[in-house]
Chain A
Amino acid sequence: MKKTIIPLLNIALILFGVALLLSCGGNNNDTKTRYIITSKIFKEFKGTKELEKKFVALQDKQKYILDSLGLEIQTLEKFSRSNSGILFKKKQTYDQLSAQFSQSNQEQYKQYSEGIWKQINQYLNDYGKENHLSYIYGADGTGSLMYADSTLNVTEHVIAFINKKYEGD
């Protein structure tokens, strides 16, 4: 009796193994397509965080300059009886500086974020190649990707990968 049970158990085990392998083969993980949440990738990318820090520091500096000038204008308004030439000049400088800061910030942010996207695109390219993917779709909420199985979402993997690449690995 025992002699017949052992080969049967072996066959059952082999069949179970094959079934397991087949079920894994039919899994979505074999699909050469993945998707990412683009906005999250950009937000979590270390380069973006560094850029934001830089901009906050720059804007703080600019705010400090404008605030000092604003205070000067307020004091002049309080104590000078008439609309003096100095006050007019200060107000003009304030407006000019404010406009200049805002324009240069916009230009700089555009240029920096262009660079950041260049790096993200490059690292996504590397990720796709290293993981033998055919496509990586970007779900950005604009309707370019209406539905995808959440098991195909590799956003977190990609964030870890691109941040490692950014750090120089």
Chain B
Amino acid sequence: MFILSIIFCVISCQPKELNPAEYTEWVKDYSHGLHKMKTVGDIVFDLQCKPVEFIVVNEQKGNIPDKELLDTRVNELSKNQYYTLSLKVKDKTVDFLKYKVTSEKEFYEKLYYYSFAFQNDIFLEDGGKMLPCKLFHFERSYDLKKSRTFELSFPAAENSTSDKTIVINSKDLNCGPVRIKINQDDLNSTPRIKI
């Protein structure tokens, strides 16, 4: 009975296998810890941690023909770690870039800041190191969305087994350093992709 319970424990602790579509949904699900939302004052921070497998699945539009392709691409991408950050105002009718903006000049200053300089105000705390944001892309939404999305990438910390915390310390947001933590346990329990 004891041995059986140990076997059961070992089996249940193994990350499960999901097909690409289910895997994507799993990663996006807020309850699994890789997608987090935090509100400070009027601003809502939405952070999606993107394991490299998740990126490959999206690149291939959910259709992974063979394991070799997956492994090769995963290997290429794993020098960095990837996140998507969305910022929006709690009041869904307000455009993030127009929030508390009183003139056209202010709007363009804000647009310039979020297009370029915002990158310098984002860090990743990983393994006791403060990693700078290496790749930054401000997604153009053509005002179709009230929120704004940023694609972020940080260098992968070597042999890091600690939690990862995104730190956003922006003067424009004026809410002090905002931290969003992704637990290593949640990363470890990410399912494998079934091919």
| A47→B176 CA distance, assembly (Å) | 8
From A50, A115, A166, A169, B174 is in contact (CB under 8 Å) with A115
Given A115-B176, A168-B180, A122 contacting B165 (CB threshold 8 A)? no
* A119–B175 touching, CB < 8 Å: yes
From A47, A50, A111, B171 is in contact (CB under 8 Å) with A111
For chain B, give the interface size range. Answer: 10 to 19
Which residues of A are at the interface with B, using a C-beta cutoff of 8 A?
Answer: 47, 50-51, 111-112, 114-116, 118-119, 121-122, 166-169
* A121–B41 touching, CB < 8 Å: yes
Which residues of B are at the interface with A, using a C-beta cutoff of 8 A?
Answer: 38-41, 165-166, 171, 173-181
- Nearest 4 pairs of A and B residues by beta carbon: A168-B181, A115-B176, A168-B179, A118-B41
Interface of B is mostly: strand
Residues of B within 8 A of A119 (CB): 40-41, 175-176, 178
Interface of A is mostly: helix
Extra pairs beyond A47-B177, A167-B179, A168-B181 (7, CB < 8 Å): A114-B174, A115-B174, A116-B176, A118-B176, A121-B41, A167-B181, A169-B181
* B174–A111 touching, CB < 8 Å: yes
Residues of A within 8 A of B179 (CB): 166-168
Chain A residue at minimal CB-CB distance from B171: A111
A50 to chain B, nearest CB (A): 7
* B165–A167 touching, CB < 8 Å: yes
| A167→B181 CA distance, assembly (Å) | 7
* B40–A118 touching, CB < 8 Å: yes
Residues of B within 8 A of A167 (CB): 165, 179, 181
